[in-house]
A and B are shown apart, each in its own frame.
Chain A
Amino acid sequence: MLSFNWLFRVTPAAIHVIRHFIYSGRAHRSVMANTDFLLQFQEFEDDQGFTENNQGATTVTIDDPIKSRKQRKATGTSFEEEDNDDKTELLSGEKKSPPFWTFEYYQTLFDVDSHQVKNRIVGSILPWPGKNFVEVYLRSNPDLYGPFWICATLVFVIAISGNMSSFLVNYGQPKFKYVPDFRKVTMAATAIYSYAWLVPLALWGFLTWRNTKITCLVSYSFMQILCVYGYSLSIYIPAVILWIIPSEGLRWCSIVVALCLSGSVLVMTFWPAIREDKPRITIAITSTIVILHALLAIGCKAFFFSTYELDHTEPLTTKAINNNSSINAN
Chain B
Amino acid sequence: MAEVEESNKPLFAGLSDISISEDIPVEGDISVPVGSQNTDNDFSTLDEPVKDTILRDLRAVGQKFVHVMYPKKSSALLRDWDLWGPLLLCVTLALMLQGGSADSEEDGRPQFAEVFVIIWFGSVIITLNSKLLGGTISFFQSLCVLGYCILPLTVAMIVCRIVLLGGASVVSFAVRLIVVTASFSWSTFASTAFLADSQPANRKALVVYPVFLFYFVIGWMILTFSPSQ
A residues engaging B (CB < 8 A)? 106-107, 109-110, 112-115, 117, 145, 149, 152-153, 156, 160, 163, 177-183
Contacts and interface: CB of A to CB of B under 8 A. Distances in A.
A179 B206 contact: no
Residue among A107, A113, A153, A163 with the highest chain B CB neighbour number at 10 A: A113
Interface of B: 106, 108-111, 114, 129, 132-134, 202-206, 209-210, 213, 216-217, 220-221, 224-226
B226 A178 contact: yes
Given A149-B209, A179-B109, A106 B132 contact: yes
Given A113-B202, A114-B204, A145 B129 contact: yes
A149 B207 CA distance: 11
A182 B132 contact: no
Given A145-B129, A180-B224, A182-B111, 4 more contacts: A145-B132, A149-B129, A153-B213, A163-B224
Contacts of B204: 114
Contacts of B132: 106-107, 109-110, 145
Nearest to B229: A177
Contacts of B109: 179-180, 182
Contact of B217 (A107, A117, A156, A163): A156
B196 to A, nearest CB: 12
Nearest to B132: A110
A114 B210 CA distance: 13
A163 B206 CA distance: 28
A179 B226 contact: yes
Contacts of A160: 220
Contacts of B205: 114
- Interface SS majority for chain B: helix
B134 A181 contact: no
Residue among A109, A152, A156, A182 with the highest chain B CB neighbour number at 10 A: A182
A152 B210 CA distance: 9
A192 B210 CA distance: 18
Residue among B109, B216, B224, B226 with the highest chain A CB neighbour number at 10 A: B224
A163 B224 CA distance: 9
A114 B134 CA distance: 13
Contact of A114 (B110, B129, B202): B202
B108 A112 contact: no
B217 to A, nearest CB: 6
13 contacts: A110-B129, A110-B133, A110-B134, A114-B206, A117-B206, A145-B129, A145-B206, A149-B210, A149-B213, A177-B226, A179-B109, A180-B224, A182-B111
Q: Which 7 A-B pairs have the closest CB atoms?
A: A181-B108, A110-B132, A114-B205, A180-B224, A113-B202, A182-B110, A179-B106
